[in-house]
Amino acid sequence: MNILFEDNHLFIVSKPAGLLTQPSGTSEDSLEAQAKAFLKIRDQKPGNVFLEVVHRLDKPVSGIVVFAKTSKALSRLNATQREKKFRKVYRATVEGHLRNKSGTLDYHLLHDHYRAKVDPSGKRAVLHYFVLEEFKNSSHVEVELETGRYHQIRAQFAYVGHPILGDHKYGSQVDWKQGIALQHVLIEFPHPITSDVVKISL
């Protein structure tokens, strides 16, 4: 386990690309299953380990994942997310050069068969981006989510003609070393018990 923060209520780790966040009902391994097994052995727990993911990362995405270690923490964190008190920042490398070096992508996304597509009947999806560096055929961008829709970053950048490197599902023509070039690098939120600000970055 690549543990970034832990106390009696939170277990925050870094997920590698290519690993499911949660069990999918198949035999495929997941970060949640690995974390539960780790805590059970380390803490010598005789029964089941309570550990629930607070937010999910797509399988090909790497980065910070927050787990709740108690039901009280989970319910409060879920409420905090609904109140939009979570700050989530990602870094991505996308194909091409964006016309505007900073801006907002604001579309409606519809979840459709393991994909998200821009559709007026979908839910509003808003993100803000800033270009950190440009390369010959790609751009490295920082992305801050205002909403947390299914495949939001992947679908929105693909829609404007700049798919994330390695994201073949959304039209990338470039291979990436592992997963896709998208990482969750910063999360900030009030602690579910103390209300102190928890800020974790990679």
- Please give the span between the terminal C-alpha atoms of the chain, in angstroms, as a whole number: 15
Contact (CB, 8 A) for 13 and 31: yes
The 10s digit of each residue's pLDDT in 4-44 is 999 999 999 999 999 999 988 888 999 999 999 999 999 99
Spatial contact of 133 and 181, defined as CB atoms under 8 Å apart? no
pLDDT at 153: 97
Q: What pLDDT score was predicted for residue 112?
A: 85
What would the two tokens of residue 126 be?
């808003």
User: 66 and 96 in one domain?
Assistant: no
Least confident of 10-14, 174-178, 184-188: 174-178
Q: Are 180 and 166 in contact (CB under 8 A)?
A: yes
Three-state SS string over 88-102 comes to EEEEEEEECCCCCCE
The pLDDT of residue 27: 85
Q: Is residue 120 part of a domain?
A: yes
- Residue 152 pLDDT > 90, yes or no? yes
pLDDT of 24: 83
169 with 128, same domain: the answer is yes
The answer as to whether 107 is a domain residue is yes
The answer to whether residues 77 and 92 belong to one domain is no
Judgement on whether residues 78 and 140 belong to the same structural domain of the protein:
no
pLDDT band at 178 (very low <50, low <70, confident <90, very high): confident
Confidence (pLDDT) at 113: 82
CA 72 to chain centre: 23
Give the pLDDT confidence score for residue 78 in this predicted structure.
Answer: 96
Dist CA 195 CA 137 (whole Å): 44
pLDDT given for residue 177 in this prediction: 87
Residues annotated as catalytic (active site), given as ranges: 58
Q: Quick one: pLDDT at residue 170?
A: 96
Domain with 107 in it: 88-183
pLDDT at 73 exceeding the cut of 90: yes
Stated length of the chain: 202
pLDDT score recorded for residue 121: 94
Same domain, 35 and 111: no
Q: Are residues 63 and 134 in the same domain?
A: no
Q: In the predicted model, what is the mean pLDDT of residues 102-127?
A: 94
Is 90's pLDDT higher than 90?
yes
Give, as one character, the DSSP assignment of residue 168. G
Does pLDDT of 199 surpass 90? yes
Identity of the amino acid at 161: G
Task: Evaluate if residue 131 carries a pLDDT over 90.
Answer: yes
Average pLDDT for the chain: 95
DSSP 31-72: HHHHHHHHHHHHTT-SSPPP-EESS---TT-EEEEEEESSHH
pLDDT at position 114 is 85
Residue 92 has, within 13 A of its CA and on its CB side, a CA count of 32
